[in-house]
Each structure stands twice: as C-alpha cells, then as structure tokens.
Amino acid sequence: MPVRADGVFTVIGPVTGPGPAGCVRCAELGRSHALDLPTAPDTTSGGVLPPASFPALAALVRHLAAHPEASLLWQLDNRDGTLTPRTVPIRPGCPECAPLPADEPGSVRFTPSPRPVPRGVFRQENRLTAGPSFVEAAADPFFGPVTALGRTDRSPMPLVSAATVVGKVREWGFGRSATVADAERVAVFEALERRLALRPHGRRTVLRTSFADLGPDRAVDPVSLGLPDPEFTGLSDACVPYRPDLPITWVHGWSMTRKRPLAVPEHFAYYGVPARPETPRILVGNSNGNGLGNSLEEAALAGLLEVVERDAFLMAWYANAPLRRIAPPEGDDLAGHLTDALARIGYELLLFDATTEFGIPVVLSLARQRSGRSPLPQVYFSAAAHPDPLVALRSAIVETAVGAFRRADRPAPDAEERHRLARMLEDPARVRRLDDHIDLHGLPSARKLHEFLLADPTVSNPLPYREVLPEPPEPETDLTRVLTGLVDRLAAHGLDTVVVDQTDDWSRGLGLHAVKVVVPGTLRLTFGHLHRATANTPRLLTVPPLLGRAPAVLTLAELPRHPHPFN
C-alpha cells in the first residue's frame, strides 16, 4: 500500500496485489498527467510525510489493511484532516491493468447499423451522459480525463472550456450552448474527443513499414492526404520529406467506400503522437475530421461534416474567389441576438455560401470590425456544414460570435507583438502557430487579404439563405442513412471515406465512440504556413471553375495562398 506526500495532501493507495484494476502505475501516471508533471513509469512522486498526518494516516492504513479495496485511493488534506476517496481509472496501455490489443486489419471492420433519431436530429439519446453526473465523473482534477473546467463571463452565450492532458500535450475543448450546464457537457465532449485524437488509447500500434511495401490496396497513399508544399521543404523540422519507401508507423481504418481495411499514417490519425527517429513524421496533423458520438455512425457523421466544412473553407480561401452573400435568417431569435451582440462591440456579421461540388451546405461566416482603426481584432472567421442549411447557418453564426468575443476579450497586442505580426504579412513563413493565423488577420493592415470575398458586385448583396444554399433534404429519422448518403456523394466525385475508430474502454463504458474521418483528396486544415498542403490537391485548381468562381482551370502560380484565418 503506497503512501506519499503531495503538497498539502497525503495520498494513500491504491492497494497493490494480484489483478487489481487501477494499479499504482495507473495512479501515478494519472496524477502526473493531470498536474502536468514529468513521469517515470516505475516510480511514485512525493515528499516527506508531515507528522501531523500520522494519527489519521495510521487509522486509515489499519482500516484498509483489514478491508482492502482495490483501485481505491484516499486523499488526506493535511490542513483540516478531511479524507476524500477516489477511484483510480485504468490508464490505457498499462501493461498490468489494460494491455492494449494489437491494431490489426481484422479489428477495424465497420458495418453501419440503423440509428433511429428524432426527425431531423443527428444526435442519439444517451442516459449515461445526459445528467450532471457525467460531467462530475469526467472532470476530475486528480486523474481526469478532464482536468479543469473554466467559464467565460464575457460572452454572448454560455461558454465553458475543458482541459485534458495526454503525455506532455494539453488540449482544450469548448462548449457553447443556451445554458451553462449544456455548455459544460459540450466542452467535456470536445475535450474527450481531443484526448482520444492525440494518442492511441484503444489499440496498440504494431505496423511499421513503407507505403511502397503496402500498396494502394492496403493503405492510403500519403500523397493524397496533402503533404507540405515542396517550396517549404527543409524550412520546418516538424516533419521530414516523404518518399514512398520511407518506413513509418500505420494504424488501420475502415474504408466505407471500398468496404475494406486501409492503413493510415499513425501521426495523421493521432496528431499528438511524438516524432521519433524510428517513426518519422511526414506531415503535421490536427483534430480535423475528429468526431465523438453515441455510436460509431454518429461520430463518423460529425467527423465527415467537419472534413467537408474545412475543405470548403480552404477551397474558398486559397482560390481567392468571391462568394455569394447570405442574409442572416429572418425571425431567428438566436441569430438576431448574436448579430446585435457583435454590433455592440463594433462588428458586422457577414455570411457567405462556401458550398462545394458535394452539394452539402457550407456557410463561411465573418465578424469584421466596421472601423479599420478599432483596437479590437479586425476579423474573426468560422464555418459550418450541415445537410440542413438553416442548421449550418446558425452554427456558423454561433461559432463566429462566441469566437469574436473571446478574441476581443484578450489584451491588445503591444508594439513588439504588432511588429512581429506585421512581419508575417511580408513573410508568411513566420506564421508558425495556430494563434499566429488568427492574430495576423486581426491587424488592420491584413484586411486586404480577405477583401476578395466582396470584390465582385454581382455577388456582394446578401440574399435569403433559401435562395442561395441547397434545399434541405426531407427530415431523416435514421442518421446512418444520412452518413451513408454523404459517403456516396463523395464517392461519386472519386473520393474515399476512411473511418479510424479511436474509442477506448472508458468512453465505450459510457456509450461514447470517437473516430477520425479521413477523406484523401480533400483540402485539410493545417497550422503553420510552412505546413500548407495545397500542391498535391488537384481539386483546388479544378473545383473553383466548376462552381463558377473562376473563369478557367487555375494554376498554383495564380493563387496567392495567403495564410488562412481559420481557428
């Protein structure tokens, strides 16, 4: 029974012995990750026990010796003598408690099943995650998986953040909703999604080889995923130049188009996997295409819509073509409230039709300062995709309004920071981080980069969304039919849809499933202009003229391809 000091706390347990769930190693790794401390696999952290805790400690140890409870840990607060029991969750991959099964082609088969939902709603009911007990179980500062919750007061609607830590990577999920309780749940869902997207938690990666050895029948061609543009080769140490005979690690996904397993580069499917000499990184991934849902089908639908949304946004941005304006929906209370809230701090809300050849409604939204001399960030962009155009429109407005308020609430950049950002306009290769993309476009001098959206007077007048966006389909009562219908739409344009199941046992126990959706050939979101992936995506050149946004097929040399402003 390990006992150790941890600041003002004394930590007792868990009881060790043959076969207990949630062992000492799980406890120490969980505590270290939650506290963002360095970890060693076979040691426990702590200092000298305070003498004042000895009486309570001795009594508790005697009790536990007589009544051992495996995987239960006690936290003794030395300030007031209170004891708090905590259940130690099994750490995925723990060699004693939860050795992960190998990632094999035969373990990834995905045969979609009917998933009934209320008419037009794409979320299934789940009683295990419906109440406040779900947030309480997930948000544990001692073990996680969510280590902290935060609320933002200065927002036009409830906004909650949720932190999660995997290894040395800390990620945040954000929830926006009509109530604080709902916003907390959404934030926790997003944090869990990010956590499972960072590293494999459900299967152990075992395949290390080259694409040349696997071939297109067994693996996704890395070139089709969007490799960094060749002009930046050697300027970033985040990845190495790709060649087909380069051995890398792979995980398996299921091609919904070809009905077969396909290997995907591990660091593309899990964007937090560290680069090592024996497992080099050929591109820099992120959470693009990740989804969490109450079934694999629901998660895959969410992930696929995100792929479509990001592809459409980047298609519009990099093609530098004007888009048709959309008027805010009349009579919509939420849209009206958020539009008014933005106006109060000097922003006008602009909405655009970014729908591509797939015919799935995509709305690009922009909050722009009316005065170019305002000290607040000049612009904030977002987007949303959904088969129902009104849902896409409202989602884009929510994302933009809440995001604009978040950025406006930050301190204004000082002179040194403004100088750093201004240099990015002259040398886009200096745009290295996610925040650089947003902050650059917050400068008044960067307004010229998005003026193309309004350059064509024939498309600059806003029209009702029903006259611009594709008509909504008949309300569906089975989200699986919606998913397979979207997969078929992409297949009609020669695109494969691959689903990588990222679910771990903890999430599965709550009826939750996580996936990474991969659609080779679509434009993928990248952060850091050096990692821009446009040179190997032919659709960027052919789709704009197909949509009437360009007079002819383009060449890369004709496109300015400025750093994007997407968050």
Is the bond preceding residue 145 a cis peptide, omega within 30 degrees? yes
Please give the Cα distance from 519 to 501 (Å, whole number): 15
* Per-residue pLDDT, 311: 98
- Kindly give, in sequence order, each residue whose CB lies less than 8 Å from that of residue 354, ignoring residues fewer than 6 positions away: 312, 313, 315, 316, 323, 362, 363, 364, 383
**Separation between Cα atoms, residue 559 and residue 561, nearest integer Å:** 5
Task: Establish how many alpha carbons lie within 13 A of residue 63's alpha carbon, considering only the half-sphere containing its beta carbon.
Answer: 11
Which among 82, 11, 8, 91 is positioned nearest to 44, based on CA atoms?
Answer: 11
C-alpha closest to that of 499 among 482, 520, 471: 520
pLDDT surpasses 90 at 530 = yes
The per-residue pLDDT for range 129-147, each reduced to its tens digit, is 998 889 988 998 877 889 8
Q: What is the per-residue pLDDT for 40? A: 54
Q: What is the pLDDT of residues 240-255, one digit of tens each?
A: 999 999 999 999 999 9
Q: 233 Cβ partners below 8 Å, 6+ apart?
A: 241
Scanning 202-274, the segments in alpha helix (DSSP H) are: 211-214, 266-269
- 327, burial (CB in 10 Å: exposed 0-12, middle 13-18, buried 19+): middle
- Answer with the residue of higher pLDDT: 93 or 2: 2
Q: What is the band of 184 on the pLDDT scale with cuts at 50, 70, 90?
A: very high
- Across 283-310, average pLDDT: 97
Mean pLDDT for 1-14 is: 81
Terminal CA-CA length for the chain: 47
pLDDT at 44 over 60: no
Q: Is the pLDDT of residue 168 over 80?
A: no
For CA atoms 505, 196, 393, 319, give the dihedral sign.
negative
Mean pLDDT across the stretch 227-245? 91
Q: Where are the alpha helices (DSSP H) in 320-372?
A: 333-344
Report d(CA 542, CA 537) in Å as an integer: 10
The Cα–Cα gap between 179 and 295 comes to 25
Q: Is the pLDDT of residue 384 over 50?
A: yes
Average pLDDT, the chain: 90
pLDDT of residue 26: 81
**pLDDT score at 335:** 96
Q: What is the pLDDT of residue 20?
A: 52
Instruction: State which H helix or E strand residue 396 sits in.
Output: helix 389-408
State residue 318's pLDDT score. Answer: 94
Which domains does the chain possess? 3-87 (no CATH), 319-467 (3.30.160.660)
Query: Is pTM beyond 0.95 here?
Result: no
Residues 162, 146 contacting (CB under 8 angstroms): yes
Answer yes or no: are the C-beta atoms of 175 and 162 closer than 8 Å: yes
For residue 14, whether the previous peptide bond is cis, meaning omega lies within 30 degrees of 0, is: yes
Question: Does residue 347 register a pLDDT over 90?
Answer: yes
Burial class of 34 by CB neighbour count within 10 A (0 to 12, 13 to 18, 19+)? buried
Least confident of 97-106, 189-198, 204-213, 425-434: 97-106
pLDDT higher than threshold 50 for residue 41:
no
